[in-house]
Chain A
Amino acid sequence: MSRTATTTCLVLVLGGAALLAVLNLALPADAPLHVPTYTVSLAGKYLSYAMLAVAVDLVWGFAGILSLGHAAFFALGGYAIGMYLMRQIGTRGVYGNAILPDFMVFLNWKQLPWYWHGFDNAFFAIVMVLLVPGLLALVFGWLAFRSRVSGVYLSIITQALTYALLLAFFRNDMGFGGNNGLTDFKDVFGIPLHLDATRDGLLAASAVFLAVELLIARYVVTSRFGKVLIAVRDTESRTRFLGYRPEAYKLFVFVLSAVMAGVGGALYVLQVGIINPSEFSPANSIEAVIWVAVGGRGTLVGAVLGAVLVNLGKTYFTGALPELWLFALGALFILVTLLLPDGLLGLARRRPRAAPAGPAPEPEPAE
Chain B
Amino acid sequence: MILLRVLLLLIAICPLAARADDDPFAGLAGGYEDIRRAVDALALSGNPHAEPAVAALQAGTLFVAPDRSLWIRQDGTLTNARTGDPGTPDGDLKRVRVNNAVRRSIEAAMGALTLFSHDPARRMKAAADLFAQHDAAALPALDRALANEQDPAVRTALQQARAAALLSAGTAPVPDRLAAIAVLRARGDLDASNLLASLSGQPPAVAAAASAAVTAIARVQQLWALVQAVFYGLSLGSVLLLAAAGLAITFGVMGVINMAHGEMVMLGAYTTFVVQQVIATSLPALSGVGVLLAVPAAFLVAGAVGIAIERLLIRFLYGRPLETLLATWGLSLALQQAVRSIFGASNRNVTTPGWMSGAAEWGGLTITFNRLYIIVFAVLVLVALMAVLRFTALGLQMRAVTQNRRMAAAMGIRTPWIDALTFGLGSGVAGMAGVALSQIDNVSPNLGQGYIIDSFMVVVFGGVGNLWGTLVSALTLGIVNKFLEPLAGAVLAKILVLVLLILFIQRKPRGMFPLKGRAVEA
Contact = CB atoms under 8 A, between A and B. Distances in A.
The answer to whether A and B touch in the complex, with CB atoms under 8 Å apart, is yes
Interface of A: 66, 68, 140, 143-144, 146-149, 151-153, 155-157, 159-161, 163-164, 167-168, 170-171, 282, 286, 289-290, 293, 323, 326-327, 329-334, 336-338, 341, 360-367
A361 B318 CA distance: 6
B299 interface: no
B337 interface: yes
Contact of A327 (B334, B495, B503, B519): B334
Among A143, A151, A159, A362, the one with the most B-chain Cβ atoms within 10 Å of its Cβ is A362
Contacts of A159: 453, 456
B327 A160 contact: no
A366 B464 CA distance: 8
B443 interface: no
B319 A363 contact: yes
Given A152-B257, A157-B502, A323-B337, A364 B319 contact: yes
B322 A155 contact: yes
A366 B506 contact: no
Nearest to B257: A152
A366 B505 contact: no
Contacts of A148: 509
B522 A143 contact: no
- Identify which of A156, A170, A293, A365 gathers the most chain B CB atoms within 10 Å of its CB: A365
A360 B252 contact: no
5 contacts: A156-B453, A336-B326, A361-B318, A361-B319, A366-B257
Closest 9 CB pairs of A and B: A333-B330, A330-B334, A326-B337, A330-B333, A366-B255, A363-B318, A164-B498, A330-B330, A361-B319
Contacts of B327: 333-334, 337-338
Given A163-B453, A338-B327, A152 B321 contact: yes
Contacts of A171: 491-492
Given A152-B257, A366-B465, A333 B491 contact: no
A160 B402 contact: no
Interface string B117-147: 0000000000000000000000000000000
A332 B330 CA distance: 7
A338 B317 contact: yes
A157 B321 contact: no
A161 to B, nearest CB: 6
Given A167-B491, A167-B495, A365-B465, A326 B453 contact: no
A155 B495 CA distance: 18
A326 B333 contact: yes
Contact of B331 (A140, A156, A164, A333): A333
Interface residues of B, number: 57
A334 B330 contact: yes
A360 B495 contact: no
B501 interface: yes
Contact of B341 (A323, A330, A362): A323
B441 interface: no
A282 B448 CA distance: 14
Nearest to B492: A171
A365 B520 contact: yes
A363 B405 contact: yes
A364 B522 contact: yes
Interface of B: 251-252, 254-257, 313, 315-327, 329-338, 340-341, 402, 405, 419, 453, 456-457, 460, 464-465, 491-492, 494-495, 498-499, 501-503, 505-507, 509, 519-520, 522
Contacts of A293: 326
B306 to A, nearest CB: 15
B325 A152 contact: yes
Given A164-B498, A167-B494, A365-B520, 19 more contacts: A140-B502, A146-B506, A152-B257, A155-B325, A156-B457, A168-B491, A327-B337, A332-B330, A333-B329, A334-B331, A337-B317, A337-B327, A337-B330, A338-B327, A363-B255, A363-B256, A363-B402, A364-B519, A365-B519
Contacts of B319: 361-364
B333 A329 contact: yes
Contacts of B325: 66, 68, 152, 155
Given A143-B503, A327-B337, A333 B326 contact: yes
Contact of A365 (B255, B333, B337, B338): B255
B332 A360 contact: no
Contacts of A333: 326-327, 329-331, 333
A364 B506 contact: no
A338 B498 contact: no
Contacts of A167: 491, 494-495, 498
A154 to B, nearest CB: 9
Nearest to A363: B318
Contacts of B505: 149, 153, 157
Nearest to B510: A153
B506 A157 contact: yes
Given A164-B498, A326-B336, A152 B322 contact: yes
Given A289-B326, A329-B330, A364-B255, A160 B317 contact: no
Nearest to B251: A366
A360 B313 contact: no
Contacts of A161: 498, 502
A97 to B, nearest CB: 27
B319 to A, nearest CB: 4
Contacts of A147: 506-507, 509
A13 B127 CA distance: 82
A6 B189 CA distance: 74
A198 B251 CA distance: 50
Contacts of A149: 505-506, 509
B318 A364 contact: yes
Contacts of A290: 326, 330
A224 B256 CA distance: 35
Given A167-B494, A333-B333, A366-B464, A153 B255 contact: no
Contacts of B324: 337
Given A152-B257, A338-B313, A365-B402, A330 B491 contact: no
Contacts of B333: 326-327, 329-330, 333
Given A157-B505, A360-B315, A168 B331 contact: no
A112 B457 CA distance: 36
Nearest to B402: A365
A167 B317 CA distance: 33
Contact of A331 (B317, B330, B340, B341): B330
Contacts of A337: 317, 323-324, 326-327, 330
Given A160-B498, A360-B318, A364-B318, A144 B506 contact: yes
B418 to A, nearest CB: 10
Name the residue among A156, A282, A329 with the largest chain B CB count within 10 angstroms. Answer: A156
A68 B321 CA distance: 14
A76 to B, nearest CB: 16
A185 B77 CA distance: 76
A161 B505 CA distance: 12
A362 B320 CA distance: 9
B317 A66 contact: no
Nearest to A366: B255
A290 B328 CA distance: 12
Contact of A360 (B316, B321, B323): B316
A282 B509 contact: no
Contacts of B322: 66, 151-152, 155
A287 to B, nearest CB: 9
A164 B319 CA distance: 29
